[in-house]
Amino acid sequence: MNKTSKKYMIINSLALIWNLIGVYQYLVQVYQSELDKMGLAPELQNYFLHLPAWVTGSYAMAVFGGSAGCIALLLRSSWSINFLGSSLLGVLLQHYYNFFIQSDVILSFDLIWMPVIILTVSISLLWSAFYYKKTEFIF
């Protein structure tokens, strides 16, 4: 294994861990009990009460697609482009809802920095899949 493939494996392993943390957060949100929801601030309670199913589905698409895409990258499979593309679409749909549709939570800097990082990582992962496909590192 040359240096490029070691670096490739390390970066994509970290990306997989990032996406698995997202899967964990998704599962925590989906299986959150009513008692846990009662402990949230009132605006967050309203947010989760009014959250459409398509947003939750977009969240699932983002984290599970990202995880599958990172596994495909580690296996050097061109399927990574499809998985990471669906992941980015899920991220964009979620962000569209959070920034332009929902009105329960007022978005401040404290709440915006994480979506910006998530979007940046999603775009970077899809770009890297295209890059490695172009250089024939994945097939």
Map out the domains of the chain as residue ranges: 3-134
Q: Which SS3 state, helix, strand or coil, does residue 135 take?
A: coil
pLDDT score, position 4: 63
Does residue 31 register a pLDDT over 90? Answer: yes
Nearest C-alpha neighbor of 12 from the set 125, 90, 117, 88: 125
pLDDT of residue 66: 98
Q: Which helix (H) or strand (E) holds 124?
A: helix 109-134
Q: pLDDT by residue (tens digit) across 52-92? A: 999 999 999 999 999 999 999 999 999 999 999 999 999 99
Give the pLDDT score at 110.
80
Q: Helical H runs in 2-108?
A: 3-30, 34-38, 42-50, 53-74, 79-96
Buried/exposed code over 52-91 (b: 16+ C-beta within 10 A; e: otherwise): eeebeebbbbbbbbbbbbbbbbbebbeebbebbbbbbbbb
pLDDT of residue 2: 59
What are the tokens at 53?
């199913």
